[in-house]
C-alpha cells in the first residue's frame, strides 16, 4: 500500500476547511493543500488575523495557527494542487436544484462534474479521488465515467468518505469521530485505495471505528444518518404541538421517553425547527431518489419530516402574532440569534430566516442580534427569499452590534438560536427597557420560565402552556 504524502482538497467551505485542518494537524508528514476559486475566501483563510477566518468553529483557529504554511496551505491554484496530489478530496457545494428536473428536491451536481472534468484534464499521474460532499447514491459512478473517459490514460480510484460533522462541534467531531466511513470498489486496486485513506485516519482514529463498505452503501449511509436525526427533531416537535393543546409539558414527555434505552435522550429537545445545510437538503434528495426509483410511499414518508419542520416554524411565527393581540404591524420585535445553531456562523436554512419573513410580511420591525453573524449575511438571507424588495427589508430591519442596542421600547424578544451567552444577559435590565407587557418567545427552550416570569416577562416557549 502506497503511503499518501500529498493531499489536495477542492473546496474551502464548512467541510473542506475544518477537515483538512485537522488532517494537517494529526498528520504532520502529509502536505495538505486546500484550493478554491473564490479568491476572497482563500484570502480569509490566509489572513494573519485568525479572527477573520471565513468559518467560525470552536478550536478551528488554534489548529490553523499551528499548521498553516507548515503543512497546511490555502490557494486558488487549483490545477497545480491537483497535479501534485496523490489523493484528492472533492468538497464542493451540492445545493438543491432550483430549476429543471428534480427542482426543489434533487441535488445539483454541477460543481461535482466540473471538479471531475478538471481533475481529468490536469492529472498526469494516478490519483485517488474522494467524494467528501454529500451526494446522491451512485454519483461515484458518474465521476468514474468522466475520469476514465476524458483523462490522459491516468488511473483513478473513486472513494466515498462522507462527513458526519455537526456545525458548532466540528473540530471535536473530527478529533473524536464516532466512525469514519470509507466506501470503494472491492477490487484489489479499490481495496488498496480504501486502505490508503484509512491509514491517514488511523493516525488518530482507532482502526475499529473506520468502517469500509462498497461505495453505494457509503453514499446512502450519509443521507440516511441525517434523515434519521431530522426525523427525531420533527417527531418531538410534532408532540410539542400536542402538548400545548393538552397542557402536557414537552420537556417532561421528552425526558420520560428518553429514559427508554431503546430510544435515548439525544435530539429530543423541542424547538422552533432544524436548519443548516444538510438535513433538509439530504432528506429532499432521499425523497427524490425514492420517487425516481418508483417508491412513492417511501418518498411520502420522508417528505413528512420536512413538512413538519416547516409547520413548526410557521406555528412559532403565528404564535407571536396571535399573542401580540393579532397584530405586529409597526411593533418592534428583537431577535436573539440568526445562525441555525449555536457556535457557528452558518445561517443556511436557519429557522430565524423563515420566522422573520413571516413577521416582516405583517410589517413588524425587527432588530436582529447574533454574536457571529454579520449584517450583510442577514440581509442576503432575506433578500434571497424575494418576498420583499431589498429596500423594504432595510426599512424594516436593524442589525444590532450588541445585545442591548435595540431593546428599548421593544414589544417582544424572540430567541431563535441557543447561544449560551443569552442565558447570562441582565434580563432585568432588558425588561426595564421594553414596553409593557414585555413578551419573550423562547424558540430554543433556553431560559428558565419561572425566573423570567418572576422578573415580569410574559414567557412563551415550545411545547409548554
**Could you list the active site residues?**
163, 222, 278
C-alpha span between 335 and 205 (Å, rounded): 40
C-alpha span between 325 and 163 (Å, rounded): 46
Distances (CA, A) of 197 to 130, 157, 290: 9, 11, 31
Distances (CA, A) of 68 to 11, 28, 129, 239, 267: 17, 11, 23, 47, 35
Give the other-Cβ count within 10 Å of 294's Cβ. 8
C-alpha span between 458 and 384 (Å, rounded): 33
For strands 127-131 and 87-90, give the pairing. parallel
Cell numbers standing for residue 291: 420517487
Amino acid at each position: 500500500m502506497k503511503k499518501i504524502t500529498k493531499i489536495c482538497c477542492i473546496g474551502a467551505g464548512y467541510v473542506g476547511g475544518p477537515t483538512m485542518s485537522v488532517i494537517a494537524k494529526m498528520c504532520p508528514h502529509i502536505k495538505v493543500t486546500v484550493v478554491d476559486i473564490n479568491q476572497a475566501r482563500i484570502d480569509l483563510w490566509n489572513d494573519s488575523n485568525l479572527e477573520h477566518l471565513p468559518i467560525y468553529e470552536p478550536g478551528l483557529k488554534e489548529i490553523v495557527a499551528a499548521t498553516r504554511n507548515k503543512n497546511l496551505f490555502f490557494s486558488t491554484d487549483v490545477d497545480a494542487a491537483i497535479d501534485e496530489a496523490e489523493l484528492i478530496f472533492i468538497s464542493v457545494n451540492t445545493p438543491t436544484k432550483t430549476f429543471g428536473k428534480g427542482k426543489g428536491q434533487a441535488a445539483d451536481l454541477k460543481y461535482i462534474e466540473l471538479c471531475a472534468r478538471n481533475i481529468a484534464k490536469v492529472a498526469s499521474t494516478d490519483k485517488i479521488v474522494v467524494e467528501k460532499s454529500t451526494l446522491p447514491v451512485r454519483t461515484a459512478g458518474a465521476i468514474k465515467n468522466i475520469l476514465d473517459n476524458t483523462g490522459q490514460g491516468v488511473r483513478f480510484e473513486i472513494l466515498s468518505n462522507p462527513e458526519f460533522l455537526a456545525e458548532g462541534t466540528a473540530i471535536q467531531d473530527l478529533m473524536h469521530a464516532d466512525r469514519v466511513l470509507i466506501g470503494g470498489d472491492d477490487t484489489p486496486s479499490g481495496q488498496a485505495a480504501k486502505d490508503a485513506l484509512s491509514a491517514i485516519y488511523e493516525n488518530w482514529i482507532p482502526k475499529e471505528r473506520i468502517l469500509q463498505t462498497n461505495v453505494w452503501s457509503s453514499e446512502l449511509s450519509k443521507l440516511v444518518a441525517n434523515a434519521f436525526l431530522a426525523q427525531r427533531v420533527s417527531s418531538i416537535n410534532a408532540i410539542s404541538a400536542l402538548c400545548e393543546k393538552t397542557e402536557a409539558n414537552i420537556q417532561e414527555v421528552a425526558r420520560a421517553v428518553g429514559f427508554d434505552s431503546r430510544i435515548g435522550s439525544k435530539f429530543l429537545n423541542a424547538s422552533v425547527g432544524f436548519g443548516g445545510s444538510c438535513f433538509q437538503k439530504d432528506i429532499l434528495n432521499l425523497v427524490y431518489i425514492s420517487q425516481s426509483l418508483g417508491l412513492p410511499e417511501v418518498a411520502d414518508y420522508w417528505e413528512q419530516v420536512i413538512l413538519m419542520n416547516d409547520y413548526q416554524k410557521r406555528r412559532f411565527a403565528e404564535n407571536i402574532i396571535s399573542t401580540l393581540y393579532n397584530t405586529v404591524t409597526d411593533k418592534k420585535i428583537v431577535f436573539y440569534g440568526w445562525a441555525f445553531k449555536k457556535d457557528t456562523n452558518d445561517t443556511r436554512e436557519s429557522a430565524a430566516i423563515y420566522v422573520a419573513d413571516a413577521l416582516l410580511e405583517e410589517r413588524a420591525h425587527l432588530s436582529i442580534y447574533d454574536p457571529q453573524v454579520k449584517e450583510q449575511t442577514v440581509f442576503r438571507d432575506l433578500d434571497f427569499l424575494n418576498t420583499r424588495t431589498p429596500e423594504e427589508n432595510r426599512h424594516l430591519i436593524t442589525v444590532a452590534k450588541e445585545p442591548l442596542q435595540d431593546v428599548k421600547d421593544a414589544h417582544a424578544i424572540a430567541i431563535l438560536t441557543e447561544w449560551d451567552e443569552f442565558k447570562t444577559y441582565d434580563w432585568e435590565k432588558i425588561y426595564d427597557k421594553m414596553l409593557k407587557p414585555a413578551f419573550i418567545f423562547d424558540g430554543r427552550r433556553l431560559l428558565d420560565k419561572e425566573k423570567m416570569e418572576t422578573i415580569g416577562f410574559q414567557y412563551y416557549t415550545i411545547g409548554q402552556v
